[in-house]
Amino acid sequence: MATAQVPDLHHFRGSFGGKDVIPLWRDAAGTQPNLPAGLLGRLTHILGSPVTAPDLFAYSYGVLSATVYASVFSDELTLPPLRLPITADAGMFAEVVAIGRRLVWLHTYGERFVPAGQVQGRIPAGQARSIKGISSAPGGGPERFDWVADPADPELGVLQVGDGRIGPVPRAVWLFSVSGYEVLKSWLASRMKVRSGKKSSALDEIRPASWDLTLSTELRELIWVLEATVAAQPGLNALVRRVVAGPVVRAGQLPLPTAAEQKPPGDDADTSPQGSLL
């Protein structure tokens, strides 16, 4: 997953948080890539076209976002580190970069890798619309939510949140998960009147007093992001299979990071878990 924010240790699923962050840059100005020296130059030579740090970031995100990745590399994923197949075909590399850039743009809600002609901070609208507004009466949020399949098309349905309804919502969007984290279900569960999930401090009790239009907008945008993510999977999966079946860059062709490059920036000044991420 990608974020334009600075993640804390509880950013993802409560157990995979900021300790596993892989930043694009090593400095606040965004001038020092978080890559071994010479890596981009070597890839540029192999592919025969310029490769930038954002290109490689987008390429990596595209490959790792493919649902087929886990099945293709099921054996390799039993042990770290993560394996990333890098195509030696410039055309396929560019295809993956394009999809990866779009996914980063969507998953950061329009904050990063903004395409030409688009406005930063905005994402394209999907199919889901509000059929009936979710009640914003004081006293807390809705008490329950569910997804109800359309009798005419069981792969489509309506999302019911309290007394409100949003649709159409594909079954694939309802079931979409990342490393076991069910995105839409978890988002809703944490915003019900009685929230679910682990409570680690008194900060967990700071919550909206009621459901409001802002939450309804955020919910629709989340559904739109998931719609676009699911729609991209068939083409992305086929592309990743082509990458694996074609010529790839071998590990021995690329420079390894030095000990200094593996250390978090500022590690000598601050060795705390939070400080070492910056």
The two structure tokens encoding residue 222: 């989340």
Same domain, 65 and 136: no
Q: pLDDT by residue (tens digit) across 188-211?
A: 998 888 877 666 677 777 777 789
For residue range 160-194, list pLDDT tens digits in order. Answer: 999 999 999 999 999 999 888 899 999 999 888 88
Q: Do residue 103 and residue 238 come from a single domain?
A: yes
Dihedral angle computed from the Cα positions of residues 200, 202, 204 and 205, in that order, rounded to the nearest 10 degrees: 150
Q: What percent of the chain has pLDDT over 70?
A: 90
Residue 13 belongs to a domain: no
Q: What is the mean pLDDT of residues 68-92?
A: 91
- What is the pTM assigned to this prediction? 0.88
* Pairing between β-strand 153-161 and β-strand 164-170 as defined by DSSP bridges: antiparallel
Q: Which amino acid is at 51?
A: V
Same-domain status, 91 and 143: no
Domain that holds residue 193: 129-214
Domain presence at residue 157: yes
Residue 37 within a domain:
yes
User: Is 95 in the same domain as 71?
Assistant: yes
**Inter-CA distances, 30 with 23, 54, 57, Å:** 10, 10, 13
Looking at the structure of the chain, the number of domains it has is 2
Amino acid at 238: A
Least confident interval from 49-53, 68-72, 156-160: 68-72
Domain check: are 92 and 170 in the same one? no
Total length of the chain:
278
Tell me the per-residue pLDDT of 90-139, one tens digit each, with 9 for 90 and over.
999 999 999 999 999 999 999 999 999 999 999 999 999 999 999 887 76
The whole-angstrom separation of Cα 235 and Cα 89 is 17
Sequence-ordered list of residues with C-beta below 8 angstroms from that of 212, at least 6 positions apart, any chain: 136
Is 273 in the same domain as 189?
Answer: no
Q: Are residues 118 and 238 in the same domain?
A: yes
Q: Quick one: 25 and 119 in the same domain?
A: yes
pLDDT higher than 50, residue 269: no
Instruction: Decide: 220 and 169 in contact? Cβ < 8 Å.
Output: no
Q: Is the pLDDT of residue 22 over 80?
A: yes
User: 152 and 62, same structural domain?
Assistant: no
> Which domain-ending residue is among 163, 183, 214?
214
In a domain, 160, yes or no: yes
